Amino acid sequence: MKIVSFSSPQLFIVYTESNNLPHVRKTDKAHEVLKLLQHYPGFEYAKPAHQSIRQENGKNKLINIIKAIFSNEDSYNKVLQERFHTKINEEDQDGNIMKKDTAFQFKFAMKEKPQKNKEEIDNEKERTIQVFDIPLYTEKKTIQNSFSLLGEIVKINTRAQG
């Protein structure tokens, strides 16, 4: 018997804020990004999404973005370095319509998680308990209160198996 394993291709994700394309209707922004990026090798698709950003006051705000997905790392890196230009129509003070050239860049969407070293992994395992047979719909707060005698619970993961 021969075992064949398939690995899923790594995807590279960039995004731009939707307001970088002010002249395009909301429903057409992903298509506009598709037209900008379709000639890059490994470009897969573009889709609208939301991104949470931290504001200066410390609060998170959801912004509208357009994500572009690549399967080719070279194209991904090239898109991150390029500036894209688009023309928008603006009215001046006299009401005349003027074409204005604006530029924007794509940003990388994946935040790199810091890699834990062996010591950190071992330390976390030493402080981890695994509990079976908890009723399915038990809330995390109830679990936390039940085990509070053992110390402060930093993280709780629940997983239904069956």
CB atoms within 10 A of CB 68: 26
131 strand-pairing partners: none
Name which of 2, 29, 1, 3 is nearest 16 in CA terms: 29
Domain boundaries, the chain: 12-108, 118-150
Q: What is the pLDDT of residue 90?
A: 72
Architecture of domain 12-108: 2-Layer Sandwich (3.30)
Q: What is the pLDDT of residue 5?
A: 46
Instruction: Tell me the C-alpha distance between 139 and 13, whole Å.
Output: 34
Give the 3-state DSSP-derived string for 108-141, with helices as H, strands as E and coil as C: ECCCCCCCCCHHHHHHHHHCCCCCCCCCCCCCHH
Tens digit of pLDDT for each residue in 73-128? 899 999 999 998 877 777 777 777 777 777 889 998 765 556 778 888 888 888 88
Q: How confident is the model at residue 145 (pLDDT cuts 50, 70, 90)?
A: confident
Tens digit of pLDDT for each residue in 17-67? 998 888 888 889 999 999 999 999 999 999 999 888 877 888 888 889 999
Q: What is the pLDDT of residue 41?
A: 93
Distance in angstroms between the alpha carbons of the first and the last residue of the chain: 29
**Residue 161 pLDDT greater than 60, yes or no:** yes
